[in-house]
Amino acid sequence: MNANATGCYTFDLTGKNVKRGIKSAFLWFFKSKDRNDMQKHEILLHELGIRRSGRLKEKSLIARMEIYAKDGWISLDLSIQVKKWVDQGGDKKILAIKCSTCATQHYKALYGVKEGYKPVLVVTYLKPRKERRDKRDSETCDPRSRCCKRQLDVDFNAVDLNYIIQPRTMSIGYCFGYCDGMDQLMYNHTAVIQSMRWSSPLSGSLREQLKPCCVPIQLKDSFIITAENGVVTRKLLPNVMVEKCGCM
């Protein structure tokens, strides 16, 4: 195998979440500046095997892409391939990333190893059946008649959160709907306020100010992958996705 501009990396596919099924898989790697950046680059991704002698050998070409890129993070969609590996009972895979058109010869310089960059295989697993069922229920709720969770997706690039490289978008949800009755009230405080609104001689403006609002009453966390100052990190983003809504 031609070692010029080729970096070899091992990825572990084992884990308890594998049994749930794979939704998507993306390989992220960093490419540094190269004197041939004015032209289109060809990136090749090979799966490697090990010879009896212990040396690496190319088994198959997994992906090929052409890009215009100077420096920055690049992603390859490996969802189909990773699903196949998992179905076949694969555990660890050795992959070779090669830029066939780059002038830089050493992989440590081309793929930012000296700066501390390291390729990351980001695998997203299918949610348990109960979570998928709850999502369908939230999508069918009618905000004209009751307070409920509605669908809302955020694109991190569109809101200047470019350091979040995975996921690129997230379904965070929001709450909207009717909250002027006596049902769906989450606390006794809210119930007492509602009783005051409809039984006490309050002014119209105060009655409106005391009206309950449809808000999130249960949120859940989500993991994200960030790339900041050359460091790729898996972080927990707390309380970012709406689970349930109620009147408060």
Structure confidence at residue 243 (pLDDT) = 92
Here the tokens at position 229 are 């100052």
Instruction: State residue 94's pLDDT score.
Output: 92
Residue 119 in domain: yes
In a shared domain, residues 119 and 166 = no
Give the chain's residues under pLDDT 50: 1-2, 132, 136, 143
Provide the pLDDT for residue 209.
82
Residue 111 sits in the same domain as residue 54: yes
* DSSP-assigned beta bridge partners for residue 57: 49
- In a domain, residue 131? The reply is no
User: Left (φ > 0), alpha (ψ -120 to 50) or beta: where does 175 sit?
Assistant: beta
Beta-carbon contacts of 36 under 8 Å, excluding residues fewer than 6 positions away, are 101, 102, 103
CATH no. for residue 187?
Answer: 2.10.90.10
H/E element holding 63? strand 56-67
Q: What pLDDT does 238 receive?
A: 92
pLDDT at 45: 93
Specify whether 62 is located in the same domain as 155.
Answer: no
Same domain? For 160 and 110 the reply is: no
User: Are 113 and 159 found together in one domain?
Assistant: no
Q: ∠ CA(231), CA(234), CA(235), 5° rounding?
A: 110
CB 71 within 8 A of CB 14: no
| pTM for this predicted structure | 0.60
Inside any domain, residue 82:
yes
Number of separate domains in the chain: 2
Do 115 and 156 lie in one domain? The reply is no
Q: Determine the pLDDT at residue 163.
A: 86
Q: Is residue 210 part of a domain?
A: yes
197: domain range?
148-247
The pLDDT value given to residue 134: 53
* pLDDT of the residue at 133: 52
Q: Give residue for tokens 């690039």.
A: 157
Mark whether 152 and 120 lie in a shared domain.
Answer: no
CA distance 192 to 212: 11
End of a domain among 72, 94, 125? Answer: 125
